[in-house]
Amino acid sequence: MKVSSIRLAMPMAILAIFFSAAGRAEERQSLQAKIEYCTTCHGSSGQGYHGFYPIPRLGGQQAQYIENQLRAYIEHRRENKYMYSVAHVLSPAIRTALAKHFSELNPKPMGGAPKGLVATGKKIYEDGIPETNVPACMACHGSEAKGQGAIPRLAGQLNDYIISKLLNWNSERGRDPARPDISAIMLPTSHNLTKAQVAAVAAYVAYLR
């Protein structure tokens, strides 16, 4: 290689390294901004928020589940106009990074559920309700309710959020019959649980860590 070619190649290589580093720094700044935006509603540690519209805990949630739900909002398979507005502007890389960030958090459960329902909820969670074809929750969500992969973590989730989702499952989930997803598994169970039973299960898992 000629000396002139070497002299030209060296600055080009330096520029490539510079722009690559600048690009990574910009990505990190963008991710941090998105994390901060998420925490305005979901809490600084992803602990969730009790309110008129309960906002779910993301801390410790399965990363795959978080990514799947963000895609479900974007594709209108899951109905929530606020989360659609948030999710549809996120790149796949940012969605993955956000899911990883929140999955690694482990905030203390917020509690707040009626403790008198916990024992009943524990029995339903572990044994199901055979007479109404309700399977044991632990069969999918695990004995500690931490989920796995596409199956969500329930441990520490806000009880009022779980109640709201289960009682409105049919109107919020699986909104595109042409593209069914794993949420279809929960449809029969959500129908076969009474409001009192839903509240009991929600109370039990709300205190799990």
Burial class (CB in 10 A: 0-12, 13-18, 19+), 159: buried
Mean pLDDT of 28-50: 94
| Helix, strand, or coil (residue 55) | strand
The per-residue pLDDT of the chain, averaged, comes to 90
Which CATH architecture describes the domain 3-206? Orthogonal Bundle (1.10)
- What is the C-alpha separation between 142 and 198, in angstroms, rounded? 18
Helix then strand count (H, E) for the chain reads 10, 0
pTM (predicted TM-score): 0.85
- What is the C-alpha separation between 82 and 91, in angstroms, rounded? 17
pLDDT, tens digit (0-9, with 9 covering 90-100), for 61-105: 999 999 999 999 999 999 999 999 999 999 999 999 999 999 999
